[in-house]
A and B are shown apart, each in its own frame.
Chain A
Amino acid sequence: MPDQPLQPFAPPTALLEYLPDNISAGAIVEWALYIVFAFWALYTIIAIYHWLKYSHASWIAFPSIALHLFISFSLMAYALSGTLFI
């Protein structure tokens, strides 16, 4: 059992100091966003495929898909709005 008090660890932003000079933090955030959006697009396509294949006759299929796309694009716009200023 350690008898010393816990020491605060360095916040994650300190890791940015170790980046090479030719790579900016903004570029990393931007590429991370693209990767997340790519996974989101793949997942969404698969889910929509299931909705349309198995619940095409249901009245809730299209509103559900539309709501998902609307909320997702809003969140993406929010996430990207930050990167525009980096």
Chain B
Amino acid sequence: MKEFELEPGEHVVLQVRKHWFLFLGELLPFAIIAIIPFALPKILPFAPPLAQYATLFDYSTPTMRAGLGVWLLITWTSAWGAFTRYFLNAWILTNNRIVNIKQRRFFSREVSSLFLSRIQDVTTNVSGILQSLLGIGDIKAQTAAEDVEFIMHGIPRPEQMRDLILKYVPEGDSKPTGI
């Protein structure tokens, strides 16, 4: 990672991304789009007015092969682009700060840091059956300035992340509270 320079004595403790299950959810539309050309010839006969068009989906003809190839190429490339964006979004916990790297889209990247010494409160939120079973949750790190907060959505094992954050918060007069 070259988005930020580690200070002397600083080291990366943990790097997390959104939970893989949430990413699978993002892939679902692409999977549905990919199977449409194979599903349509089987579905159309069930709708009599449209049944005659089922014969159009004959992938032994050159034009339809080209069409299917392009369809799948666009779908695959879009899915891979989604994976790229998923992978380039990350939260990095060092022994000094939390670095939030947001890759909204290509050529739109935001890197922000929250120093652990400023953290007043760390809150985890796990709500929902799947989230509880898979250990997916949110973490909110709040500073003294009420409008400054870091929210990490959909990270795996948020309690572990919270404990690590609290572990590396420097000792002081106002030790933050973990909820």
Chain A interface (Cβ < 8 Å from any Cβ of B): 5-6, 8, 11-13, 25-26, 29, 32-33, 36, 40, 43-44, 46-47, 50-51, 54-58, 60, 64, 68, 71-72, 75-76, 78-86
- On chain B, the residues within 8 Å of A64 by CB distance are 80, 83-84, 87
User: What are 28 A-B residue pairs whose CB atoms fall within 8 Å in the complex?
Assistant: A6-B49, A11-B53, A13-B56, A29-B63, A36-B70, A36-B73, A46-B106, A46-B107, A47-B80, A50-B84, A54-B3, A55-B88, A64-B80, A64-B84, A68-B76, A72-B77, A75-B73, A76-B69, A78-B65, A78-B68, A79-B69, A79-B70, A80-B66, A80-B69, A81-B65, A83-B66, A84-B62, A86-B62
Number of interface residues of B (CB under 8 A): 33
B31 interfacial by beta-carbon distance below 8 Å: no
Interface centre among A25, A72, A75 (most CB of B within 10 A): A75
- Contacts A29-B62, A57-B1, A86-B62 given; indicate if A50 touches B68 (C-beta within 8 A): no
